[in-house]
């Protein structure tokens, strides 16, 4: 099979996870900022993933205590970016939320420049600038008579993408000379511990978690577990594609994820309006979104070439 189709399968799988997240938020979120229960489901799944990795990976304590601590912190950061991401999904369409993830390399390059000594070329700076233009465009609300910037989802996703970049830098710092699966184990342990901490310390999340258990517990857990497995499969396909093609080309293919999400959202809205997805298909809303995603993909091409 061509490396291109292997690499393309990953963002397609990740897009399915995004669609599932939107469905869960729309179906089970309780009231304003009611995704706390889903946050706990997503975080506590980390315990089971860590156990699964631990059963097959030896030498889990072969890394230093400092590295373990950094990976636990990365896992905790993951829990908090998930909170911001789910909050954004409560008030914004998934096709407008997912493109923000293309800003992660922008934050990653900045953090890598500061903490890892990585360099930035003029082309990378240009690509980052174009991505930010696309981000600005997708942050504008075109649905009403007056255009306005959607500050709240923008703030949520900027925070989420920054935290993802921080977690990625921590993971890379440890794993660049270590074992991927050992690092993944401790990161998922950190995610699971964060879920337990949120359960104990935030009564609102705990109440929502119990309510969701009563209304769709195993369904929510199964969807979260399936999403985690799907994400891991996508990650593994990307890693395999790295062996078959230049890393930059694989990253470029991954940048098509927002376009795939938008395509799936439109298809699902047409097939089952309001059941799974509700994408606003008005031209004045859809066209700027398409242009914004195209700009961000173009920026990614410049960024990674």
The mean pLDDT value for 276-299 works out to 80
- Summarised one tens digit per residue, pLDDT across range 13-30 is 989 998 888 888 877 765
pLDDT digits (tens, 9 = 90+) for 103-113: 887 887 777 77
Q: Whole-angstrom Cα distance, residue 201 to residue 178?
A: 34
Angle at the Cα of 185 from the Cα atoms of 179 and 187, rounded to 5 degrees: 100
Would the pLDDT of 31 be above 60?
A: no
DSSP string, 146-215: S-EE-HHHHHHHHHHHHHHHHHHHHHHHHHTTS-HHHHHHHHHHHHHHHHHHHHHH-HHHHHHHHHHHHH
Asked whether the beta carbons of 297 and 255 are under 8 A apart, the reply is yes
User: Do residues 100 and 158 make contact, with C-beta atoms less than 8 angstroms apart?
Assistant: yes
Find out whether 101 and 257 touch, Cβ atoms under 8 Å: yes
pLDDT digits (tens, 9 = 90+) for 122-181: 887 888 888 888 888 888 887 767 778 888 888 999 999 899 888 887 887 887 777 888
- Nearest CA to 234 out of 2, 1, 47, 18 is that of 18
Residue 69: what pLDDT? 95
Query: Nearest Cα to 261, choosing from 135, 100, 130?
Result: 100
- pLDDT of res. 1: 53
Instruction: Give me 209's structure tokens.
Output: 């978690």
- Rounded to the nearest integer, the mean pLDDT of the chain is 83
Quick one: DSSP state of residue 146? S
Q: Is the dihedral of CA 73, 57, 62, 174 positive or negative?
A: negative
Residue 296 predicted with pLDDT over 80: yes
User: What φ, ψ does residue 234 adopt, rounded to 5°?
Assistant: -60, -45
Residue 220 in this model has a pLDDT that exceeds 80: no
Indicate the DSSP class of residue 32: T
Within a 10 A sphere around the Cβ of 233, how many other Cβ atoms? 14
Query: Residue 33: pLDDT above 60?
Result: no
Which pLDDT belongs to residue 211? 81
Domain boundaries, the chain: 3-304
199, two tokens: 């359960």
Record the pTM.
Answer: 0.83
- The region of weakest confidence among 181-185, 186-190, 207-211, 224-228 is 224-228
Of these ranges, 35-44, 61-70, 222-231, the one predicted with the greatest mean pLDDT is: 61-70
Q: Is the pLDDT of residue 217 over 70?
A: no
In b/e form, how buried is each residue of 7-41, taking b as 16+ CB within 10 angstroms? bbbbbbbbbbbbbbbbbbbbbbbbeeebbbbbbbb
Alpha helix positions (H), 63-121 = 65-91, 94-97, 104-115
Looking up tokens 């337990």 gives 196
Residue 2 buriedness (CB in 10 A; 0-12 / 13-18 / 19+):
exposed
**pLDDT at res. 55:** 93
Q: How many CB atoms lie within 10 A of CB 5?
A: 12
SS3 286: helix
pLDDT greater at residue 29 or residue 213: 213
pLDDT band at 198 (very low <50, low <70, confident <90, very high): very high
Collapsing DSSP to helix, strand or coil, 108 comes out as helix
pLDDT digits (tens, 9 = 90+) for 256-266: 888 888 888 88
Q: What is the mean pLDDT of residues 53-75?
A: 91
Quote the pLDDT of residue 275: 61
Confidence of residue 118 (pLDDT cuts 50, 70, 90): low
DSSP code of residue 132: H
Instruction: Measure the CA–CA gap between 18 and 23, rounded to whole angstroms.
Output: 9
């Amino acid at each position: 099979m061509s490396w291109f189709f292997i690499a393309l399968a990953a963002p397609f799988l990740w897009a399915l996870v995004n669609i599932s997240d939107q469905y869960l938020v729309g179906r089970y979120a309780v009231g304003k900022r009611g995704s706390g229960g889903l946050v706990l489901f997503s975080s506590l799944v980390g315990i089971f993933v860590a156990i699964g990795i631990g059963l097959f990976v030896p030498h889990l304590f072969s890394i230093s205590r400092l590295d373990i601590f950094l990976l636990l912190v990365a896992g905790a950061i993951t829990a908090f970016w998930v909170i911001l991401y789910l909050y954004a999904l409560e008030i914004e369409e998934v096709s407008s939320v997912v493109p923000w993830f293309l800003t992660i390399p922008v934050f990653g390059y900045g953090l890598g420049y500061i903490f890892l000594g990585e360099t930035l070329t003029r082309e990378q700076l240009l690509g980052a600038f174009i991505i930010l233009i696309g981000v600005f465009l997708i942050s504008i609300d075109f649905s009403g008579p007056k255009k306005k910037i959607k500050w709240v989802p923008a703030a949520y996703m900027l925070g989420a993408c920054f935290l993802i970049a921080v977690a990625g830098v921590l993971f890379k710092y440890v794993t660049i000379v270590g074992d991927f699966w050992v690092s993944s184990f401790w990161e998922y342990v950190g995610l699971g511990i964060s879920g337990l901490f949120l359960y104990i310390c935030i009564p609102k999340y705990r109440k929502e978690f119990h309510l969701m258990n009563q209304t769709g517990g195993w369904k929510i857990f199964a969807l979260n577990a399936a999403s985690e497995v799907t994400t891991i499969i996508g990650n593994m396909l990307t890693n395999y594609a790295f062996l078959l093609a230049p890393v930059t080309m694989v990253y470029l293919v991954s940048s098509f994820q927002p376009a795939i999400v938008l395509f799936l959202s439109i298809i699902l809205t047409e097939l089952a309006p309001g059941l799974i997805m509700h994408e606003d298909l008005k031209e004045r809303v859809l066209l700027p979104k398409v242009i914004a995603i195209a700009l961000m993909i173009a920026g990614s091409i410049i960024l990674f070439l």
